[in-house]
Structure 1
Amino acid sequence: MTTEGVWMSPSGNKVFIPLENNPEVFTGLVHDLGVSPELGFYDVYSLDEPALLAMVPRPVHSLIFITPAPMYSAVRKEDGLVWWAAEREAQSDFKLTYDKSGEDEPVTWFLQTIGNTCGLIALLHSVANGEAKKYIQEGSLLDRLIKEGNPLKPKDRADVLYNSEELEKVFMKSAKKGDTSAPQADEACGYHFLAFTKGKDGHLWELEGCCDGPIDRGALPEDADLLSDEALDKGVRRFLKHANGNLEFSIVALATRGEE
């Protein structure tokens, strides 16, 4: 039985309603998935103003950066990387080259195969890695999805998410919340949701479900969280230098919650 709000594209691919970029919606979704209430998402209003940075509890375990296409494309061009989803659409025989799984991976990466789930995949990347992973409750939906998917190669791991009706229902509960009305599943989004997190190897990793695997952005000091200058310089700030006055981006931090 199809979950209300799930749509099948003309090509037969599953599509969800896009998730609103809203820290309260993000927080509610990860809690429903099985992340401890000790973690929450917070808007990052500035990377330079101490008073605004102080509004975000520390430590920050992951960042989600929502970027418009020009910024995204400029950094991908600098790095000599392609947006794998575009290549996949252009070439019917295009193959994913990343094939790590389990203990071979410094981070857990999910290939996006459900339409309009850029936000969901970014959330999964942010909580399934680094220190945040310790806050996933035993036996929860998220715990079960990760344990089932981790030993598998990327396409089989993606199928674990694709075939989960329980994930559909939990996601749709959050997708219908927020300050704006939920868009239709067939409406285009036009932004990229990137997750930045620290891997088991102590490196900063950039994760996006439409790329050819996770991207290693280099080593971080042991005590550096994701809102440290070291992490920002290797990650988000590389995109922001291509903003050219475009303010249509946002940054959301996953942090250990302070006193509410």
Structure 2
Amino acid sequence: MTQSRIRRKHYIPLESNPEVFTDLIHALGVDESLSFQDVYSLDDPDILSLLPRPVLGLVLAFPAVEDYDKIIEEDKKARPNAYTGKGEDEPVIWFEQTIGNACGLYGLLHCICNEPARKYIKPGSAIGKVLEACVPLDPTARALVLEASEEVEHAHAHAGKSGSTVAPLPEDDVEHHYVAFVTSSDQSGQVYEMDGVKQGPLKTNVSLKEGEDLLSESGKQLIRAFIEREHGQKFTFSLMALVKSE
């Protein structure tokens, strides 16, 4: 995976597993009514109908082959000035990834720290305290707050070891990368691609209409386009949806 950010720490990579992600958000302090669930198809209406709606956020895992480093460089050229947004007035809350092999954590955080999932964070919880401290800060200062959270680190360490496959070492090179898709907090329905190794939150060309969610047709088209761009016909992708399950 790209080394576009300074890595002061390394975490055990998270398995792309909804149970692992769900257990981690609960350990961090998200209400137990929220969970991650696999999205097995973007095309079969019967399979999609089994998923609780609305979808509050999406996390896509994909193989970050050499081409992805080129995409990161293209993003730098297109947006030479890195994002510096802060405060409650920003449409989304974005975290710069400075912890190695923790892209799953950042994808998860981008889902739960943005609306509408944010209201399910318990006050005083591990992520509640991090979020309260981070919102007023710019991305560089936010990164330091997140790195310093022992509660987040301990919860992530447990999650990293709890998957069904043998966990890699924190310093191992990992082929897969996670990116999240969330909607803005300003009621516009604007969808953002959230990747901690890019220059900041990326405003997509998709805005959801009233009553739509991230797996409505325009949202599905956005995911399909992302997968197509990443040569999805050759590689395996996995998609998880954050939903209210109770």
Distance of 1:75 and 1:55 partners within structure 2: 37
The amino acid that maps onto 1:236 is I
For structure 2, the 5+ residue unaligned runs are 1-5
Aligned pairs, number? 236
- 1:183 aligns with 168
50-59 or 241-250, which moves further after superposition? 241-250
RMSD value, Cα = 2.4
Distance of 2:70 and 2:32 partners within structure 1: 35
Q: Percent identity?
A: 41
- Is the alpha carbon distance of 1:83 and 1:113 closer, same or farther for their aligned partners in structure 2, counting shifts above 3 Å? farther
After TM superposition, the structure 1 = structure 2 runs for residues 30-41 of structure 1, keeping only pairs within 5 Å, are 30-41=25-36
The amino acid that maps onto 2:27 is D
- 2:199 aligns with 212
Among 55, 61, 64, which residue is 1:60 paired with? Answer: 55
Residue 101, structure 1, aligned to residue 86, structure 2: yes
The amino acid that maps onto 1:229 is E
For structure 1, the 5+ residue unaligned runs are 1-10, 85-94
- Is the alpha carbon distance of 1:250 and 1:71 closer, same or farther for their aligned partners in structure 2, counting shifts above 3 Å? farther
Aligned residue for 2:88, secondary structure, equals helix
Distance of 1:164 and 1:96 partners within structure 2: 28
After TM superposition, the structure 1 = structure 2 runs for residues 216-235 of structure 1, keeping only pairs within 5 Å, are 216-218=203-205, 219-233=207-221, 235=222
Preserved CA contact (<8 Å) 2:14 2:102: yes
Distance of 2:174 and 2:77 partners within structure 1: 16
Preserved CA contact (<8 Å) 2:18 2:37: yes
Q: TM-score, normalised by structure 1?
A: 0.84
- 2:234 aligns with 246
Aligned residue for 1:30, secondary structure, equals helix
The amino acid that maps onto 1:185 is P
The amino acid that maps onto 1:171 is H
After TM superposition, the structure 1 = structure 2 runs for residues 190-209 of structure 1, keeping only pairs within 5 Å, are 190-201=175-186, 202-209=189-196
Structure with bigger gyration radius: 1
- 1:81 aligns with 75
Preserved CA contact (<8 Å) 2:194 2:202: yes
Among 11, 21, 24, which residue is 2:16 paired with? Answer: 21
The amino acid that maps onto 2:33 is E
Distance of 1:238 and 1:39 partners within structure 2: 27
Distance of 1:239 and 1:184 partners within structure 2: 29
The amino acid that maps onto 1:195 is A
Preserved CA contact (<8 Å) 1:76 1:83: no
Instruction: Return the offset for 1:13.
Output: 2.0
Aligned residue for 1:151, secondary structure, equals coil
Aligned residue for 2:36, secondary structure, equals strand
Distance of 1:241 and 1:74 partners within structure 2: 17
Q: TM-score, normalised by structure 2?
A: 0.88
